[in-house]
Amino acid sequence: MIMVPFITLIMTLQGVEPGLSVKMAIATSMTTIVFTSLSSVRAHHRRGAVRWDIVKQLTPGIVLGAAVASLGVFAWLDGRWLAFVFAGFVAFSATQMLLDRKPAPSRTMPGVPGQLAAGGAIGFLSGLVGAGGGFVSVPFMTWCNVVIHQAVATSAALGFPIALANALGYGWAGSSVEGLPAGAWGYIYGPALITISVTSVLMAPLGVRVAHALPVQTLKRVFAGILYALAAFMLYKGLTA
């Protein structure tokens, strides 16, 4: 969610058509998560924070939702509307995090059908906006009384199936698109993928340490503030595309 606005800006400055630059930024950002999620979840797992039972239940729906988004809806939608979708969901997630509404004490994660549906929604929305799913899965899990640090860690583990399923879809769906820059596989821009993946893998463990050190309320406020700024930028890009 941080990378999409920056990659969009960089690709636009390189002369890529604005609508296409949004799509390539979303696809490239998502693909980097294949690598960064492995580094991040390894660090979270060492702290015993990953809820693998939740990962197991959500993953089938995530893969299905991601396939529908990346192979179908993503290729069909105009890049400008994708920017609006990105801005809207990011702002919504930030608001939910900032309001800090307390879930009912008795609420828990839903059963298998409910988690399958939730996984499908997470995978589909992630495929549209190029994020690892944390903007949906973290609020969803905290709403179900999963501790915020466990929610963040579990979201990192969910990032791998989300990213892999979507990356394959982006590459396939964009393989026949005209106007792609050199080094692109479908909507995925290779040079950016390599550069961002290497540096992100190195820094992900540091982010894990900071996340576990911060108080819960501070973590939520920082997360919400970053999301608002990114939502505003992508709204601007959509309006000016």
User: Dihedrals φ, ψ of 185, to 5°?
Assistant: -115, 105
pLDDT digits (tens, 9 = 90+) for 120-142: 988 888 877 766 667 678 878 88
DSSP 214: S
Q: Is 17's pLDDT higher than 80?
A: yes
What pLDDT is stored for residue 52 in this prediction? 92
Average pLDDT over residues 174-184: 83
Q: Is 237's pLDDT higher than 80?
A: no
pLDDT digits (tens, 9 = 90+) for 40-86: 788 788 888 899 999 999 999 988 988 888 777 776 777 677 778 77
Q: Is 144's pLDDT higher than 80?
A: yes
Q: Is 184's pLDDT higher than 70?
A: yes
Structure pTM?
0.70
Q: Is 106's pLDDT higher than 70?
A: no
Q: How many CB atoms lie under 10 A from the CB of residue 129?
A: 25
What pLDDT is stored for residue 104 in this prediction? 67
Helix locations, 144-241, DSSP H: 148-173, 190-213, 216-240
Q: 100 falls in which pLDDT band (50, 70, 90)?
A: low
Q: Write 212-216 long-range contacts (CB < 8 A, 24+).
A: 212/47, 212/49, 212/149, 216/148, 216/149
In this predicted model, which residue has the larger pLDDT, 164 or 131? 164
pLDDT digits (tens, 9 = 90+) for 189-210: 999 899 988 888 788 778 778 8
Check: CB of residue 217 under 8 Å from CB of residue 100: yes
3-state secondary structure 177-195: CCCCCCCEECCEEHHHHHH
- Min mean pLDDT across 28-32, 60-64, 86-90 is at 86-90
Token pair recorded at residue 149: 């640090």
Q: What is the mean pLDDT of the chain?
A: 82
3-state secondary structure 131-151: CCCHHHHHHHHHHCCCCHHHH
